[in-house]
Amino acid sequence: MENSMKNDEILTLTIRFEDEDGVRVIHPAIIKDERETVLVDCGYPGFLPLLERAALSRSIPFGEITSIVVTHHDYDHYGALHEIREKYPKIRVMASELDAPHIDGRKKSLRLRQADEMRDSIPESDRARAMDFERALEAVKPAAIDDTLRDGDVLPWCGGTEIIATPGHMPGHISLYVRRLKTLITGDAFVVARGRLRMANPNYAMDIDEAKASIKKLARYDIGTFVCYHGGLVKTSLTNRENRRLLM
């Protein structure tokens, strides 16, 4: 997707992979202008080679990335960060003030805390799967954060990219609004399913009421394109008839 301003664009990196649940797809995003190449979210642990190949398929050698923004600390969004920092130490890493301590290891993952609280209520038939999930979370290596972000911060990328606090899925969740391109990079505030914009799975929201309030907050922005980590890119508006249900 390109804008009339030369070299200002947002790219999605479509990464397909297979695990025990079958084929999955994630869509990290790249914000690119004449000065900066910014990756938003970076996949599971071990995904650096997949990211490198996906970026190169869009004519971007991974070493050209200047910054990484993590929308929140679910392990599918930041799991590869440690290995990226080791191989590409010059890349600056950013996350929200609330999420930074969970990414750099100062605080325990909120998903692990959630797993601890739910352990006794999990049916016996699901125990083995739940334990596998906990072990996967515990295996994620911490990674240093260079800069913390707050609601309303505006970064210079593509003429102005606003950080929007969108709590609910997690307390420190953020989305990025690229003003000139009228594009929102949503993290897990939204997903695209069957070509339609939807609220991310409520079962994974730490606070469903906050998640709904974040959606209503985003309706104040002039958004023409949504880039969702799960589902990819969709051109739509929150205020059209199809999406009004999301604001209720």
**Model confidence over 181-224: pLDDT tens digits?**
999 999 999 999 999 999 999 988 999 999 999 999 999 999 99
Between 83 and 132, name the one with better pLDDT: 83
Q: Which residues pair with 231 in a beta bridge?
A: none
The bridge status of strand 183-185 relative to strand 225-228 is parallel
What is the helix (H) or strand (E) element at residue 40, kind and residue range? strand 37-40
Structural domains of the chain sorted by starting position, each given as residue range(s) with its CATH number in brackets: 9-247 (3.60.15.10)
Q: How far apart are CA 38 and CA 63, in angstroms?
A: 11
Instruction: Identify the CA nearest to 40 among candidates 190, 228, 199.
Output: 228
pLDDT above 80: residue 50: yes
Residue 226 identity (one-letter amino acid) = F
**3-class SS at 103?**
helix
Locate all alpha helices (DSSP H) within the chain, ordered by sequence: 48-57, 75-78, 81-87, 100-103, 110-118, 127-138, 208-218
* Greatest Cα pair distance in the chain: 57
Summarize pLDDT for 140-172 with one digit per residue, the tens.
999 999 999 999 999 999 999 999 999 999 999
The whole-model pTM stands at: 0.93
pLDDT tens-digit map of 105-128: 999 999 999 877 777 677 777 777
Mean pLDDT of the region 81-87 = 98
User: Which residues are 228's β-sheet partners?
Assistant: 232
Q: Work out whether strand 190-193 and strand 154-155 pair parallel, antiparallel, or are unpaired.
A: unpaired
Q: Within its chain, how far is the Cα of 218 from the centroid?
A: 16
